[in-house]
């Protein structure tokens, strides 16, 4: 496990901004999050040590989209398990290789 990069941190912060009811709890978890990359697309397994648990039932409460340079969408799904940040899943809509890594400024919801 490693610290989140600045880009990863900002992407997750942007996604949490879409969850006003549980955003404070998830942001608290994010302050203690560590990550490990689980595939070539940049998907991350997240480990949080914060004892705070968010009252959220959806496994994937927020999805973001980023258009790759070939205009094929890249999807980013935030997985929350038992109220804890668990994974950031990243995949390209047509299954081809990702050309440009997603940036927080170009995400849309």
Confidence of residue 13 (pLDDT cuts 50, 70, 90): very high
Domain count, the chain: 1
Residue range 66-93, pLDDT digits in tens: 999 999 999 999 999 999 999 999 999 9
Domain that holds residue 62: 2-106
Full DSSP string of the chain: -EEPPHHHHHHHHHHHTT-TTTHHHHHHHHTT-EEEE-STT--EEEE-----------SS-EEEEEE-TTS-EEEEEEEEETTEEEEEEEEETTSPPPSS---GGG-B-
Confidence of residue 25 (pLDDT cuts 50, 70, 90): very high
């Amino acid at each position: 496990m490693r610290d989140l990069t600045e880009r990863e941190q900002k992407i997750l912060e942007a996604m949490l901004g879409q969850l006003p009811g549980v955003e404070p709890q998830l942001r608290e978890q994010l302050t203690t999050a560590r990550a490990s990359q689980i595939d070539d697309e940049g998907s991350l397994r997240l480990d949080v040590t914060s004892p705070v648990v968010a009252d959220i039932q959806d496994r994937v409460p927020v999805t973001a989209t980023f258009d790759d340079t070939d205009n094929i969408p890249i999807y980013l799904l935030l997985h929350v398990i038992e109220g804890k940040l668990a994974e950031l899943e990243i995949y390209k809509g047509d299954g081809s290789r990702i050309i440009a890594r997603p940036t927080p400024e170009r995400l849309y919801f």
